């Protein structure tokens, strides 16, 4: 191996990652070409300056400034341990860009810490991949029209809720909702108006449920709500009654007509020892009892 320092400098200069060295006073002593490319700052603009001058102004996703308070380089020189963090640096052109930084101490031949090295790489592809994964996860569990959970999410949440009930972690309820005479809306006014009615109903339902509850679209004009931490059947009935009244009092104002709809509801408690299919079937049957009773009704058992 060549002992010429220029040999190693040439290798580091041609690394894709940004690399810079600091001494014990956090004064920058070396700035490679990768650092120039990623940050937009030339070595002539950085060497001799202190990283605490906040050149790169590393911040976390929640806005914490690392260069002034929690500098990875300073921490590595303090305890001799390497550090890694996902941060956002300040580019020479003014914008913020995501990077992964890795800081490690530099020791002399006697093992004394005489400085530190930080390498950093562009993290945009990782961020983009995470975003794509989140979007994919969202599409898998979300109804594209209404934005609430889809059938798959409802099934998974109900299964998880059933396990909690069997373990004695609270009481939960299931509310099955069907929009009355929705086919007439589509046949009379068209599917575009029908979609608006669906959105009106969904938003009304969501605004009258808690964040811990889950509202999902079971299919067509059928929706289901999993209600957490209900005290008893009477409490579940109160929730169902509120949802029915709120939808009944909502309306869609069109140019020539005002439209309103009602809902029929079946509600039941989630019991230990039963299957998810049992819950679905019972809530569905109770909803149909509400239909048979004249619609715009709730049936609770």
Q: Taking Cα atoms as reference points, which of 280, 248, 281, 243 lies closest to residue 265?
A: 243
**Number of Cβ within a 10 Å radius of residue 247:** 23
For 5-128, the fitting CATH number among 3.30.465.10, 3.10.105.10, 3.40.50.300, 3.30.450.20 is 3.30.450.20
**Residue 260: closest CA among 192, 200, 217, 202:** 200
Residue 203 has pLDDT above 60, yes or no: yes
Q: Give the least confident one: 90-94, 114-118, 284-288.
A: 90-94
Q: Which residue did the predictor score with more confidence, 226 or 279?
A: 226
**Residue 126 banded pLDDT, cuts 50, 70, 90:** low
pLDDT of 4 strictly over 90: no
Q: In this predicted model, what pLDDT tens digit does every residue of 142-181 receive, in sequence order?
A: 898 998 999 888 988 888 888 888 888 788 999 999 999 9
DSSP-derived secondary structure letter, 82:
-
Confidence of residue 120 (pLDDT cuts 50, 70, 90): confident
CB atoms within 10 A of CB 197: 21
Residue 118: both structure tokens together: 């930080």
The pLDDT of residue 177 is: 97
Residue boundaries of the structural domains of the chain = 5-128, 142-300
Residue closest to 247 by CA, chosen among 284, 290, 301, 188:
290
Give residue-wise pLDDT tens across range 20-51.
Answer: 999 999 999 999 998 898 889 998 999 999 87
Q: Give the pLDDT confidence score for residue 138 in this predicted structure.
A: 63
Does the pTM of the predicted model rise above 0.85?
no
| pLDDT at 2 exceeding the cut of 50 | no
Task: Decide the pairing of beta strands 18-23 and 113-122.
Answer: antiparallel
Q: CATH homologous superfamily of domain 142-300?
A: Reverse transcriptase/Diguanylate cyclase domain (3.30.70.270)
Range with the largest mean pLDDT of 110-114, 146-150, 286-290: 286-290
pLDDT at 186: 92
Query: What distance in Å separates the CA atoms of residue 77 and residue 88, rounded to the nearest whole number?
Result: 22
Q: Count of CB atoms within 10 A of residue 210's CB?
A: 10
Helix boundaries (H) for the chain: 5-13, 33-39, 43-46, 72-79, 124-141, 151-166, 182-189, 191-207, 233-248, 276-292
* Reported confidence tier of residue 131, pLDDT bands at 50, 70, 90: low
pLDDT-wise least confident of 72-76, 189-193, 204-208, 272-276:
272-276
The answer for residues whose C-beta is within 8 angstroms of residue 21's C-beta and 6 or more apart is 28, 29, 30, 106, 115, 116, 117
SS3 3: coil
Q: Compute φ and ψ for 193, nearest 5 degrees.
A: -70, -35
Distance CA 226, CA 171 (A): 11
Buried/exposed 40-72: b ≥16 CB within 10 Å, e otherwise: ebebeebeeeebeeebbbbbeeeeeebbeeebb
Tell me whether residue 187 is exposed, middle or buried, using C-beta atoms within 10 angstroms of its C-beta: 0 to 12, 13 to 18, 19 or more: exposed
Q: Rounded to an integer, what distance in angstroms lies between the CA atom of residue 68 and that of residue 11?
A: 31
Q: Is 144 helix (H, G, I), strand (E, B) or coil?
A: coil
CA distance 114 to 267: 70
pLDDT class for 136, splitting at 50, 70, 90? low
């Amino acid at each position: 191996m060549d002992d010429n320092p220029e040999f190693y400098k040439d290798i580091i200069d041609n690394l894709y990652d940004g690399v810079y060295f600091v001494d014990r006073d956090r004064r920058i002593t070396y700035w490679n070409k990768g650092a120039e490319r990623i940050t937009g700052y030339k070595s002539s603009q950085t060497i001799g300056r202190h990283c605490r001058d906040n050149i790169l102004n590393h911040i976390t996703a929640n806005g914490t400034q690392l260069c002034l308070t929690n500098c990875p380089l300073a921490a590595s020189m303090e305890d001799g341990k390497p550090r890694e963090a996902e941060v956002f640096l300040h580019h020479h052109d003014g914008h913020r860009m995501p990077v992964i930084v890795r800081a490690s101490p530099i020791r002399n031949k006697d093992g004394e810490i005489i400085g530190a090295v930080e390498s950093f790489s562009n993290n945009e592809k990782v961020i983009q991949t995470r975003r794509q994964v989140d979007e994919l996860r969202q599409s898998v569990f979300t109804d594209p029209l209404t934005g609430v959970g889809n059938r798959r999410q409802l099934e998974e949440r109900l299964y998880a809720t059933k396990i909690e009930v069997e373990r004695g972690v609270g009481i939960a309820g299931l509310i099955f909702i069907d929009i009355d005479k929705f086919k007439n809306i589509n046949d009379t006014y068209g599917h575009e108006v029908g979609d608006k009615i669906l959105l009106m109903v969904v938003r009304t339902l969501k605004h009258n449920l808690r964040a811990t509850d889950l509202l999902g679209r079971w299919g067509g004009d059928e929706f289901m709500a999993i209600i957490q931490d209900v005290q008893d059947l009477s409490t579940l009935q109160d929730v169902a009654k509120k949802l029915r009244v709120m939808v009944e009092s909502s309306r869609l104002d069109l140019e020539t007509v005002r439209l309103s709809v009602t809902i029929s509801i079946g509600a039941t408690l989630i019991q230990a020892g039963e299957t998810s299919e049992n819950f679905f079937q019972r809530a569905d049957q109770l909803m149909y009892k509400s239909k048979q009773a004249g619609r715009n009704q709730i049936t609770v058992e």
